[in-house]
Amino acid sequence: METNYTEQSPKIELLQETIQNLNETRKWTNFLSIMGFIFIGLMILIAFAVSSMMSTMAESESALPFSGTVLGFVYLIIAFIYFFPILYLYRFSKYTKKALETQNSNDLNEAFKNLKSHYRFMGIITIVMIALYAFIFLIGIAVGFTGMM
């Protein structure tokens, strides 16, 4: 059952321990988001490197099932998808720091909006991946049964 909060709902006051926990969480989300941006940059570099290397290999060996450009493109798509949850996590950290320094409720609200967006995005990605795995599993079973006949 979902509770509907209105403007007349009582105000929430943060305890000092809650503020300390929020600040520590902010530090970790800042670290994780910076590491995420670094890994996205590495994925983009790897996409171009793999694309270039596999294209060079494809000239000497024609046994590759797909071109290096396709694999590089897949890496770029993954980096693009990964960018958004990392951006939301970074914004959560940035707005939380600002809110704790200025004690501004609007900044804290903006921080939690970004945290919500982060988890929503990750939830949607999780649902899509579960559906994709289920689909691949069913295709595998179907191919297995047709191979047995």
pTM over 0.85: no
User: Is residue 138 assigned to a domain?
Assistant: no
User: Is residue 20 assigned to a domain?
Assistant: yes
Distance from CA of residue 97 to its chain's centroid?
Answer: 21
Asked if 88 and 120 touch (Cβ cutoff 8 Å), the reply is no
User: Is residue 66 assigned to a domain?
Assistant: yes
Other beta carbons within 10 angstroms of residue 26's beta carbon come to 20
**Which amino acid is located at 146 in the chain?**
T
User: Is the pLDDT higher at 126 or at 54?
Assistant: 126
User: Is residue 6 assigned to a domain?
Assistant: no
Name the domain count of the chain.
1
Asked if 44 and 111 touch (Cβ cutoff 8 Å), the reply is no
Residue-wise pLDDT for 9-53, tens only, equals 668 888 999 999 999 999 999 999 999 999 999 999 999 898 888
Tell me the residue range of the domain where 40 lies. Answer: 16-124
What does the mean pLDDT of the chain come to?
88
Of 79, 99, 85, give the one whose Cα is nearest residue 33. Answer: 85
User: Is residue 134 assigned to a domain?
Assistant: no
Q: Which residue has the tokens 């004690």?
A: 103
User: Is the pLDDT higher at 87 or at 148?
Assistant: 87
